Structure 1
Amino acid sequence: MGFFGYVAIVHITISEYAMLKFLSRPAVKLVERYLPDPYVFVLLLTLVAAAAAIAVERQTPLAVMRMWGDGFWNLLTFSMQMLLVLVTGFMLANTPPVKRLLQRLAAKAGNAAGAIVLVTLVSLAASWINWGFGLVVGALFAKELARQIRVDYRLLIASAYSGFVVWHGGLAGSIPLTIATEGHFTVDRIGVVGTSETIFAWFNLAIVAALFVVVPLVNRLMLPDDEESVYVDPALLKEPDQEGMTRHRPADRLENSRGLAWLVGIPGLLFLVDHFLLRGGGLNLNIVNFLFLFLAIVLHRTPRNLLISLQEAVKGGAGIVIQFPFYAGIMAIMVQSGLAQSLSEGFVAFASAQTLPFWSFLSAGLVNLFVPSGGGQWAVQAPVMLPAAEALGADISRVAMAVAWGDAWTNLLQPFWALPVLAIAGLKAKDIMGFCLVQLLVTGVIISLLLTYL
């Protein structure tokens, strides 16, 4: 059918679902008015988690404070990885060849409706391959679209972020990959569960396919009228000049040396060839960052051009640096106090074999607001969900994927994962989360129904 056929179907469907645009208005206004900055949001979550651990789990304030403080730095490695996702992805997209590619692809959108649909599809596809890849590619492509097409910038960036909802049902989903690995921590209970039963299971592929249709459609239908739209001046999105200054000092010649960049960059790319082709390695966050960095080194052609791009890239990383330690502290409270386990048990208590995936999905969505880490969340919920699945005779692989989809689902509301996107776009969480709230409601219905009845 092709991209333009897809856009035509979207246009045909508008008259049937025009109410969606009107429903998005109060959601956008509500979030713009009441959603605080992500830093304030994480402070509030910290207080809520601490108070709940004291009130529900009967922990002492001293014990909760120690859990929080001891766990505060547990995400340092991950924080650096996320910062590098932002920086290396920005530098790669700022290379001349990639900019030309993004420009040609953006030109295919044609108008505002096409831009919304196209950026959503690109983000969905990239996120299904790898979540870090999807976050950066979607945001950078959205900026290029905004340079060429007059379109509501808030919805454009929200559309780029909304594709992230499929990541845990894709190739880099941490829960299905964990239980497919020999020696995983629940192997004695469930054995090794292959990806044919999770990522490539019929029910999971059906969810992914449904979201590839519905998410772009919903984004398109939320496109505001011209008088309600918020546009950005394309001049504000202009990237800095990449050409380094020509000077005559030996040090300046080194900074502008293509040979030096290629002598380091090309071996880095050869390492990736060895990793994928000869050793059969997979695509993880470190490999994504390695790929972005060494492609940027080669395609920028000189160290000076790379450094100019780096100076621009690091400006948006402050939110990641300061907020991720707070989330590490929240995770420590939720796990060590028993609060996350109690939440999961509360949802499972009244489930049946058929409805356990549904309640697992909802419980994972709630836990994800406080523990925004797929692997960490599975470590918390598996000891509750797996015995329940065995006792009820439920499909264990479906229950595991329900937890995975619940983790991905409420990322539409949790600004933790939106930080790299917002940093690249130059927006605040309140600018996009109203649109994401509508997607949260729509995708929640679709995912839960297909998990339960398909």
Structure 2
Amino acid sequence: MLANISKPLVKLVDRYLPDPYIFVLMLSLIVLAAAVIIEGKTPLDAVNYWGDGFWSLLSFSMQMLLVLITGFMLASSPPVKKLLNYIAGFAKSASQAIILVTVVSLIASWINWGFGLVVGALFAKALACKVRVDYRLLVASAYSGFLVWHGGLAGSIPLTIATPGHFSESDIGIIATSDTIFAGFNLALLAILFVVMPLVNRFMLPEEKDCVYVDPSKLTDNEEQASENQTWERPADKLENSRVLAWSIGGAGLVYLAYYFFVNNGRLNLNVVNFLFLFLAIILHQTPRNLLNSLNDAIKGGAGIVIQFPFYGGIMAVMMQSGLAQSISEGFVSIASAQSLPFFSFISAGIINIFVPSGGGQWAVQAPIMLPAAEALGADVARVAMAVAWGDAWTNLIQPFWALPVLAIAGLKARDIMGFCLVQLIITGVIISIGLSWF
């Protein structure tokens, strides 16, 4: 049944969904028009909001680019290739490959969202080299694991409100992760999604005639490593192929991480993930030259991130400064009760996430509206906060912003996977809505 449902959606998306760059251009124009028509701003004001915010995501853009590059370099190292191939060998059929990649992606994303994005995409490539399976659905399944990140260990909203000094502390105090990430309703949601998502993806497998396969030779790197007994004439050649140099600097990086985690009790975040990936890649590639060769291959997939993220910075600025995001939230709050507020918080967060694809940025917009409403209605503040978090994660399934690193690693276009993601969106939306309202 799911295969039959997904088939027309896949064809529809393939025909009408433009490249993510076109998508972000259209979103920019829609938001600018909405700021003028709905919020009553002048065209000049709207354009100024957009221009002032255009470069607001430069730091984050670099982080995301490094997620792609460091993850690619790590995965292209010989030891990691062997490990991924070994795990992929457990899948003997297309069904097993779909289930396995979904479970691995869910676990990795629950640990850290950046880690999950990279691991899921790289594991999908390894599986495609072992099993004959629809490559579009395989990558969509890898991406679907990203859904659980905001309910996991690196969820930005629950971690923010658990941190002393957060901007809402005067209103709600400190809310421990035992009431959010490790609350019963959140753990129940995660448990259900860990069971349902692999099955949903499995049952979307197209018929043989509708499958799209990929040539495994196009997914593998056939370049040979330099021979150990090869001689180098120039001193520079010796440095570029020096194992001692690579292992020394790589070891220094790992010593820092050990000190960070075990002495300073540091937490896992995007910068730490990138640091870990980079220095493991330095060590596992063995020589600087091997690493640089891998870097040249990795950087080719980062063009979408470089050109699109500034536009999302402009969109976010218009949404926040014009009042559009606040109006959407207030509209849902106005019809909510104590029982239904988590549901409406979830739906409003999902809509806003299409235009403001940033958990931290979205919470800054919605918290001043949702938190007073929760207190006035007598709703569970922790549950409302997690509803916003889940709404932010939910519509990431159809938001090309977050799919860019996965698509770049896998070598696909957004339209290749978004038809399957629409089915995932509908089913998980029902599950999360029920969970937030009744669990």
Q: What range is the shorter-chain TM-score in? A: over 0.9
In structure 1, what is the equivalent of residue 209 of structure 2? 227
Tell me the CA shift for residue 244 of structure 1.
3.6
In structure 2, what is the equivalent of residue 281 of structure 1? 266
Give runs of aligned pairs for residues 243-322 of structure 1, distance below 5 A: 243-244=225-226, 246=230, 247-322=232-307
2:362 to 377, 380, 390: 377
Are 1:104 and 2:89 counterparts?
no
Tell me the CA shift for residue 240 of structure 1.
4.4
Are 1:213 and 2:198 counterparts?
no
Q: Give the 3 Å change call, closer, same or farther, for CA 68–240 of structure 1 in structure 2.
A: farther
Tell me the CA shift for residue 242 of structure 1.
5.1
2:6 to 19, 24, 28: 24
In structure 2, what is the equivalent of residue 52 of structure 1? 34
The answer to whether the 8 Å contact 1:242/1:305 transfers is no
In structure 2, what is the equivalent of residue 159 of structure 1? 141
The superposition leaves residues 337-388 of structure 1 with CA deviations (integer Å, 9 ceiling, x where unpaired) of 0000000000111100000000000000000000000000000000110011
Give runs of aligned pairs for residues 79-118 of structure 1, distance below 5 A: 79-118=61-100
The answer to whether the 8 Å contact 1:96/1:299 transfers is yes
In structure 2, what is the equivalent of residue 11 of structure 1? none
Are 1:127 and 2:112 counterparts?
no
Counterpart amino acid of residue 223 in structure 1: L
2:352 to 364, 367, 372: 367
- Residue 282 of structure 1 aligns to a residue whose secondary structure is coil
The answer to whether the 8 Å contact 1:413/1:433 transfers is yes
Tell me the CA shift for residue 177 of structure 1.
0.3
2:423 to 438, 441, 446: 438
Counterpart amino acid of residue 285 in structure 1: L
In structure 1, what is the equivalent of residue 437 of structure 2? 452
Are 1:338 and 2:323 counterparts?
yes
Tell me the CA shift for residue 199 of structure 1.
0.2
The answer to whether the 8 Å contact 1:240/1:308 transfers is no
Q: Give the 3 Å change call, closer, same or farther, for CA 242–74 of structure 1 in structure 2.
A: farther
> Structure 2 stretches of 5 or more lacking a match?
none
In structure 2, what is the equivalent of residue 169 of structure 1? 151
> CA–CA distance in 2 between the matches of 1:72 and 1:105?
42
- Residue 335 of structure 2 aligns to a residue whose secondary structure is coil
In structure 2, what is the equivalent of residue 14 of structure 1? none
Counterpart amino acid of residue 44 in structure 1: M
> CA–CA distance in 2 between the matches of 1:445 and 1:200?
21
Counterpart amino acid of residue 66 in structure 1: N
User: What RMSD over aligned residues (CA atoms) do the two structures have, in Å?
Assistant: 0.7
The answer to whether the 8 Å contact 1:242/1:309 transfers is no
In structure 2, what is the equivalent of residue 6 of structure 1? none
Number of corresponding residues: 436
The superposition leaves residues 23-59 of structure 1 with CA deviations (integer Å, 9 ceiling, x where unpaired) of 0111111111111100000000001100100001000
> CA–CA distance in 2 between the matches of 1:88 and 1:242?
20
In structure 1, what is the equivalent of residue 46 of structure 2? 64
State the percentage of identical aligned residues: 71
> Structure 1 stretches of 5 or more lacking a match?
1-18
The answer to whether the 8 Å contact 1:129/1:171 transfers is yes
The superposition leaves residues 124-156 of structure 1 with CA deviations (integer Å, 9 ceiling, x where unpaired) of 000000000000000000000001110000000
Counterpart amino acid of residue 93 in structure 1: A
Tell me the CA shift for residue 230 of structure 1.
0.1
> CA–CA distance in 2 between the matches of 1:248 and 1:426?
38
The answer to whether the 8 Å contact 1:179/1:193 transfers is yes
> CA–CA distance in 1 between the matches of 2:30 and 2:196?
34
The answer to whether the 8 Å contact 1:139/1:424 transfers is yes
Counterpart amino acid of residue 411 in structure 2: G
> CA–CA distance in 2 between the matches of 1:248 and 1:260?
18
> CA–CA distance in 1 between the matches of 2:162 and 2:258?
24
Tell me the CA shift for residue 420 of structure 1.
0.1
- Residue 148 of structure 1 aligns to a residue whose secondary structure is coil
Tell me the CA shift for residue 243 of structure 1.
1.4
In structure 2, what is the equivalent of residue 400 of structure 1? 385
The answer to whether the 8 Å contact 1:242/1:308 transfers is no
The answer to whether the 8 Å contact 1:161/1:418 transfers is yes
1:414 to 394, 399, 404: 399
> CA–CA distance in 1 between the matches of 2:294 and 2:192?
38
1:200 to 182, 187, 192: 182
In structure 2, what is the equivalent of residue 356 of structure 1? 341
Q: Give the 3 Å change call, closer, same or farther, for CA 236–185 of structure 1 in structure 2.
A: same
The superposition leaves residues 71-95 of structure 1 with CA deviations (integer Å, 9 ceiling, x where unpaired) of 0000000000000000000000111
In structure 1, what is the equivalent of residue 129 of structure 2? 147
The answer to whether the 8 Å contact 1:67/1:329 transfers is yes
Tell me the CA shift for residue 238 of structure 1.
1.4
TM-score, scaled relative to structure 2 = 0.99
TM-score, scaled relative to structure 1 = 0.95
In structure 1, what is the equivalent of residue 376 of structure 2? 391
> CA–CA distance in 2 between the matches of 1:215 and 1:416?
21
**Range with bigger deviation, 242-251 or 417-426:** 242-251
> CA–CA distance in 1 between the matches of 2:225 and 2:374?
59
Are 1:37 and 2:3 counterparts?
no
Are 1:77 and 2:59 counterparts?
yes
Counterpart amino acid of residue 114 in structure 1: Q
The answer to whether the 8 Å contact 1:27/1:435 transfers is yes
Tell me the CA shift for residue 225 of structure 1.
1.1
